[in-house]
Amino acid sequence: MNKLLDQLVTEMVARGLHYTDAQREFEKRFISCVIEQNAGNLCKAADTLGVHRNTLTRKVKEFKIRPRT
């Protein structure tokens, strides 16, 4: 996994992606994946992520993630 992550970071830097944009995209995709793995259940997803459900709900709105219902 470290090798893949290193390659991704190297490519992002080479393309001139700013840190905040990279961080935002990673967070959005990570959260989306966890929500999907929990069949759209935000309570379970928040527990998996180790965050409060209100925090996850705020992030879902911020990133315009559509949880599966």
Residues 18-35: tens digit of each pLDDT: 999 999 999 999 999 999
Q: Answer yes or no: are the C-beta atoms of 67 and 35 closer than 8 Å.
A: yes
pLDDT of residue 66: 87
For the chain, domains (ranges, CATH) are 18-69 (1.10.10.60)
- Three-point CA angle 57, 2, 44, nearest 5°: 25
Regions of the chain short of the pLDDT cut 50: none
> How many beta carbons lie within 10 A of that of residue 68, not counting itself?
9
pTM of the shown model: 0.85
Helix runs in 1-69, H state only: 2-14, 19-37, 42-49, 53-63
